[in-house]
Structure 1
Amino acid sequence: MDLPQVVSRDEWLAARKELLVKEKESTRVRDMVNEERRKLPMVKVDKEYVFEAPDGKVGLPDLFDGRRQLIIYHFMWLWESDQGCQSCSLLIDNVGHLSHLHASDTTLALVSRAPLAAIERFKTRMGWTLPWYSSYGSDFNYDFNVSMDEAVAPVEYNYKNKATLLLEGMAFMTQGDGQGVSVFLHEGDSVFHTYSTYGRGPEPLVGTYNYLDLTPLGRQRYINEFLHHDKYEA
């Protein structure tokens, strides 16, 4: 790619101030969208889901770990290679210290439609300590539209049905597993689903991209082109 033009300090400062106006407007719009997200109505989860954890079977309320809010990252499993996908792994590599979320009464957990033994093996390989549950054998992934199989449920991903996905050239998203984020609130004895996002929706959680966006060379590669962190050559 072409490098930026070389200019004087005064020219650079003028261009920087012009960009600053756009950055501030972008921040204002982001704050507005965040406020609208918090105002979204919510839906009571009236179905019991069973997950596999290292200590045995647990339900959705157990995933909150005693906190009021739960963020689930739907971690896509690559069945052909029996490991977690690279882009999902990049996102999890960028998760900070969980104490900051916990101090805000919020739990972060991973859920994959894969056998727990496979999850535990990959988790150990990656050196992660986040809670990671198996939804293998349950309807959870299908109900939250991150597993696509017409024999189980109507195909939908990123709020688009199968016909729309095919029309938009996204046939690869009409079968198998995808990734996404879902948010839940525990109020009294009830659990509510408040938000889900898919596709590029979870992208702000990828800190590597946020850093690279500050640089002249930018992101340099599509998210699927990143490798598992133990696969880069020295």
Structure 2
Amino acid sequence: MKVVEPEEWQAARKELLAREQELAAAHEAVRNARQQLPMVRVDKPYAYRGADGEVGLLDMFEGRRQLIVYHFMFDPSWDQGCKWCSYLVDNIGHLSHLHVRDTTLALVSRAPIEKILPFRERMGWTLPWYSSYGSDFNDDFRATLDKAEQGGASVFLRDGDTVFHTYSAFGESMDLVHTVDNYLDLTPLGRGDNMNWLRHHDRY
């Protein structure tokens, strides 16, 4: 980066603003297309375990119309959850802002609930977290491929007691919810070329 006079900086900033506006328009077009995706009825009776016992997919809505499930990577053989997924959950804001929009957010992992709850307490999180241990949920929604897990999100819509799957995203498609990275994108040093620094937040 070079050092310039304010006038030259303002000209460069104006040029970048035009590109940011183009990007914002593209993002809006993608958002609109996402909301117009067709949906699939979910008929399989999935069973999960939460802090208060067994629940079904319909219960996870907590009475709201929309449900966002984050597929949190936590293999049954692991002693702690994935640091990448933990980084994402650390980016989640106050859930009341989703609840007022008739939307519930919950985590689902393959690990038994007996492993999930102590890790949730260690991380200081309070959002709902369910175990899909022993079910086909991860496989059916492609959060497990060839026995390997991947973090991602699946979105569901409820119409009465009928549930529909409307959207899923994995990998780079999840970048938009990494708010810390998006903040870093505003800085001259950016987010960096690698994530070798990443730890669970209580291990820095």
Question: How far 1:44 moved relative to its partner?
Answer: 0.2
- Which blocks of at least 5 consecutive residues in structure 2 are unaligned? none
**1:41 maps to what in 2?**
38
Matched, 1:196 2:174: no
One-letter identity of the residue aligned with 1:183: V
Runs of 4+ in 1 over 4 A off after TM superposition: 78-81
Aligned Cα root-mean-square deviation (Å): 1.3
Question: How far 1:189 moved relative to its partner?
Answer: 2.0
Matched, 1:138 2:135: yes
Q: Deviations over 1:17-49 (max 9, x none)?
A: 000000001001100110000000000001110
The match for 1:84 among 68, 81, 90 is: 81
Matched, 1:99 2:71: no
- Which blocks of at least 5 consecutive residues in structure 1 are unaligned? 150-174
Distance 1:223 1:181 in 2: 21
The match for 1:217 among 175, 184, 189 is: 189
Distance 1:122 1:224 in 2: 22
- Bigger drift between 27-36 and 198-207 goes to 198-207
Distance 1:192 1:85 in 2: 28
SS in 1 for 2:59: helix
Query: Do the aligned partners of 1:70 and 1:184 also contact (CA within 8 Å) in 2?
Result: yes
**1:72 maps to what in 2?**
69
Query: Do the aligned partners of 1:64 and 1:70 also contact (CA within 8 Å) in 2?
Result: yes
**2:201 maps to what in 1?**
229
Distance of aligned partners of 1:225 and 1:44 in 2 relative to their CA distance in 1, 3 Å threshold: farther
Q: Report the identity percentage.
A: 58
Question: How far 1:78 moved relative to its partner?
Answer: 4.9
TM-score, normalising length from structure 1? 0.84
Query: Do the aligned partners of 2:66 and 2:103 also contact (CA within 8 Å) in 1?
Result: yes
Distance of aligned partners of 1:30 and 1:224 in 2 relative to their CA distance in 1, 3 Å threshold: farther
Question: How far 1:60 moved relative to its partner?
Answer: 0.3
Question: How far 1:6 moved relative to its partner?
Answer: 0.8
Question: How far 1:71 moved relative to its partner?
Answer: 0.2
Distance of aligned partners of 1:58 and 1:223 in 2 relative to their CA distance in 1, 3 Å threshold: farther
The match for 1:11 among 8, 16, 25 is: 8
Question: How far 1:80 moved relative to its partner?
Answer: 5.8
One-letter identity of the residue aligned with 2:72: F
One-letter identity of the residue aligned with 1:62: D
